Structure 1
Amino acid sequence: MKVQKVSPNIGAVIHGVDLSKPLGNQQFQEVHDALMENLVIFFRDQTISPGQQKEFGARFGKLHVHPAAPGLIEGHPEILVIKADENSKRVAGEEWHSDVSCDPEPPMGSILYLTEVPPDGAGDTMFANTYRAYETLSDPIKRMLEGMTAIHDGEHVYRGRYANDRGKEYPRQEHPLICTHPVTGRKTLFVNRTFTTRIVQLRKQESDAVLEMLYRHLETPELHCRFQWQPNSIAFWDNRCAQHHALWDYYPNRRYGHRVTICGEKPVYRA
Structure 2
Amino acid sequence: MNAREQTAAEQIAAPFSITPVTPVIGAEIGDIDLRETLDDPTYQALRQALVRHKVLFFRDQDITPAQHVALARRFGELEVHPVFPHHPDHPELVLLGGNKDTKGRENIYHSDVSWRAVPSMGSMLRCVECPPMGGDTIWVNMAQAYAGLPDDVKARIEGLEAVHDLMPGFGARMSAEERLVNREKFPPATHPVVRTHPESGEKILYVNEGFVTHLANYGAHIQYRVGADFRLGELDLLQYLYRQATVPEYQVRMKWRPNTIAFWDNRSTQHYAVQDYFPAVRRMMRATIIGERPV
Same fold (TM over 0.5): yes
Name which of 11, 20, 39 aligns with 2:35.
20
Distance 2:46 2:119 in 1: 22
* Secondary structure of 2:22's aligned partner: coil
Query: Given that residues 118 and 291 in structure 2 are in contact (C-alpha distance below 8 angstroms), is that contact kept between their aligned partners in structure 1?
Result: yes
**Please, what TM-score do these two structures have when normalized by structure 2?**
0.87
Match of residue 170 from structure 2: 158
1:32 maps onto 2:44 in alignment: no
Query: Given that residues 10 and 39 in structure 1 are in contact (C-alpha distance below 8 angstroms), is that contact kept between their aligned partners in structure 2?
Result: yes
The percent of aligned pairs where both chains have the same amino acid is 39
Match of residue 176 from structure 1: 192
Match of residue 127 from structure 1: 139
Alpha-carbon displacement from aligned partner over 1:13-48 (angstroms, at most 9, x marks no partner)? 000111111111111111111111100000000111
* Secondary structure of 1:169's aligned partner: helix
Residue 162 (structure 1) shift? 4.6
Distance 2:244 2:180 in 1: 37
- State the number of aligned residues: 265
Comparing both structures, which one devotes a greater share of its residues to helix? 2
Match of residue 148 from structure 2: 136
**Please, what TM-score do these two structures have when normalized by structure 1?**
0.94
Aligned Cα RMSD in Å?
1.3
* Secondary structure of 1:211's aligned partner: helix
Distance 2:192 2:294 in 1: 7
Name the aligned partner's letter for residue 5 of structure 1: P
Query: Given that residues 198 and 204 in structure 1 are in contact (C-alpha distance below 8 angstroms), is that contact kept between their aligned partners in structure 2?
Result: no
Residue 166 (structure 1) shift? 5.0
Query: Given that residues 82 and 92 in structure 1 are in contact (C-alpha distance below 8 angstroms), is that contact kept between their aligned partners in structure 2?
Result: no
1:207 maps onto 2:207 in alignment: no
* Secondary structure of 2:78's aligned partner: coil
Name the aligned partner's letter for residue 168 of structure 1: V
Distance 1:4 1:131 in 2: 20
Name which of 82, 99, 103 aligns with 1:85.
99
* Secondary structure of 1:103's aligned partner: coil
Name which of 61, 76, 79 aligns with 1:46.
61
Question: Which shifted more, 193-202 or 230-239?
Answer: 193-202
Question: Which shifted more, 188-197 or 25-34?
Answer: 25-34
Match of residue 290 from structure 2: 263
How has the CA–CA distance of structure 1 residues 166 and 93 changed in structure 2, closer, same or farther, with 3 Å as cutoff? closer
Distance 2:17 2:248 in 1: 26
Name the aligned partner's letter for residue 139 of structure 1: D
- Which 4+ stretches in 1 moved above 3 angstroms? none
Alpha-carbon displacement from aligned partner over 1:136-186 (angstroms, at most 9, x marks no partner)? 101111111111001101112111315672532242101100000001111
Residue 75 (structure 1) shift? 2.8
Equivalences for residues 68-107 of structure 1 within 5 A: 68-71=83-86, 73-88=87-102, 90-107=103-120
* Secondary structure of 1:160's aligned partner: helix
Q: Unaligned regions of 5+ residues in structure 2, if any?
A: 1-15, 219-229
Alpha-carbon displacement from aligned partner over 1:191-249 (angstroms, at most 9, x marks no partner)? 00100010122333122100111111221110000000011100000000010000000
* Secondary structure of 2:181's aligned partner: coil
Query: Given that residues 70 and 162 in structure 1 are in contact (C-alpha distance below 8 angstroms), is that contact kept between their aligned partners in structure 2?
Result: no
Distance 2:240 2:83 in 1: 29
Name which of 123, 142, 146 aligns with 1:110.
123
Kindly name which structure, 1 or 2, has the bigger radius of gyration based on alpha carbons.
2
Distance 2:172 2:153 in 1: 37
Query: Given that residues 69 and 162 in structure 1 are in contact (C-alpha distance below 8 angstroms), is that contact kept between their aligned partners in structure 2?
Result: no
Residue 59 (structure 1) shift? 0.8
Distance 2:197 2:111 in 1: 14
Query: Given that residues 93 and 244 in structure 1 are in contact (C-alpha distance below 8 angstroms), is that contact kept between their aligned partners in structure 2?
Result: no
